[in-house]
Amino acid sequence: MTNPIKVLSEEQMNHFRTEGYLIVKGLFSEEDVRIIEDKFEEISHQVIPGLFEPVLDGSTDDPLKRYPRVMHPHRFDETAKQYLLHKPVMEVLADLYGEEALAAQSMFYYKPPGSRGQALHQDNFYLQVEPGNCIAAWTAIDAANEENGGLLVVPKTSEFELSCPELADSNESFTTHYVKPPKDQKAKPVIMDKGDVLFFNGNLIHGSYRNKTKDQFRRAFICHYANMSATHINMHYRPLFKQDGTIVDLEANSAGGPCGIDFEMAYPH
Distances 76 to 62, 68, 81, 87 between C-alpha atoms, Å: 26, 17, 8, 20
Confidence of residue 257 (pLDDT cuts 50, 70, 90): low
Residue 9 included in any domain: no
As a whole number of angstroms, the distance between CA 177 and CA 35 comes to 33
Residue 213 included in any domain: yes
List residues bridging with 226 in a β-sheet. Answer: 102, 134
Is it true that the peptide bond before 112 is cis, omega within 30 degrees of 0?
A: no
pLDDT exceeds 60 at position 216: yes
Mean pLDDT over residues 118-142, rounded? 97
Range of the domain at 214: 15-254
Residue 6 included in any domain: no
Please report the pLDDT score of residue 237 as a whole number. Answer: 97
Q: For the segment 29-73, what is each residue's pLDDT rounded down to a tens digit?
A: 999 999 999 999 999 999 999 999 999 999 999 999 999 999 999
Q: For the segment 85-111, what is each residue's pLDDT rounded down to a tens digit?
A: 999 999 999 999 999 999 999 999 999
Confidence of residue 5 (pLDDT cuts 50, 70, 90): confident
Confidence of residue 259 (pLDDT cuts 50, 70, 90): confident
Please report the pLDDT score of residue 3 as a whole number. Answer: 82
Residue 178 included in any domain: yes
CATH of the domain at 149: 2.60.120.620
Mean pLDDT over residues 153-160, rounded? 96
Q: What percent of the chain has pLDDT over 90?
A: 91
Reported pTM: 0.95
Confidence of residue 265 (pLDDT cuts 50, 70, 90): very low
Half-sphere exposure of 125 (CA within 13 A, CB side): 27
pLDDT exceeds 90 at position 254: no
Residue 7 included in any domain: no
Q: Domain count for the chain, please give it.
A: 1
Residue 99 included in any domain: yes
Tallying the residues shown for the chain, one arrives at 269
Q: What percent of the chain has pLDDT over 70?
A: 94
As a whole number of angstroms, the distance between CA 125 and CA 110 comes to 24
Residue 267 included in any domain: no
Mean pLDDT over residues 257-267, rounded? 53
Task: Let me know the angle formed at the C-alpha of 60 by 75 and 120, rounded to the nearest 5 degrees.
Answer: 60
Residue 177 included in any domain: yes
As a whole number of angstroms, the distance between CA 74 and CA 137 comes to 15
Mean pLDDT over residues 175-197, rounded? 96
Contact predicate 196/25, CB 8 Å: yes
List residues bridging with 135 in a β-sheet. Answer: 201, 225
